[in-house]
Structure 1
């Protein structure tokens, strides 16, 4: 059973916690994007030694443009003051929320059933937004796409992508009103 390498399992977790906490102090789109870029540069490291791990400083340009051009002032203020702190809070709780036996991949052509706490799912989504998972490439993970939002942010010029982002932000806005309870059951069936 292959386990997902979670951000809280990596050696830079204490440093990542500090960077995430700093995001709650951002007063502008620029400050937030700069903090998220530092996180991306630290975490976006590939497992393949031949990978080019030089920082890509354009990865969050789409997010910054969205925040500045598509959000009204009051909406942006709410995002920075309420939604980002709620997302950071969810991300920081990952170590306490992760399953005791680890979080395993659901492999192709193998029946599987996995029950996950809703709070852990919110933490996973927050980490994906902040792009804290190690880089996945076709060479190291041929059947898996990159879970980080860094590629998603590149396409925020599309109205469809903007709507998806607004839905995700709305989800975290709703979560800020209370704790998540319950679980979600994922089941993979294989036909013979």
Structure 2
């Protein structure tokens, strides 16, 4: 039976959904991920993340994405929305893993699969690190598409996070439908 690594990205962003990925594979394949250079997505350059995001599905048994919308984030709170995104990704799997390794300290509620939370899991588990890469690349590509529509916020550079230029855009143009109103967005947010 395979195991699964689960991670999310975009928790601290002001704009866009929170995105989770699950990478399911036999435990024995984790060494192959390490050999490719899979590690925490934050430690990799964007080109290296994109390269690995193409290679990981060839090693994994299954790779899935789940997300929670901006409205769900505002309604539930960011933690619950992150756990919902993770759960949605897991529910899309074609087979049930024996164990899910979850990045962070909070287990996914009402998940009928064994799970183990790992604080800093994207640095300790290659399966979680692979999920962090898949989620990061998917979300970055989504935000790049949003950047074309919402050009006032410098999304191509900040990926929805609260940089100075992003906050200046909010101050000058107000918020978009993809901004999280439950977050501190500035005087017009």
- Confirm or deny a common fold (TM above 0.5): no
Under a length normalisation based on structure 1, what TM-score does the superposition of the two structures give? 0.30
Under a length normalisation based on structure 2, what TM-score does the superposition of the two structures give? 0.30
Query: Is the strand fraction higher in 1 or 2?
Result: 2
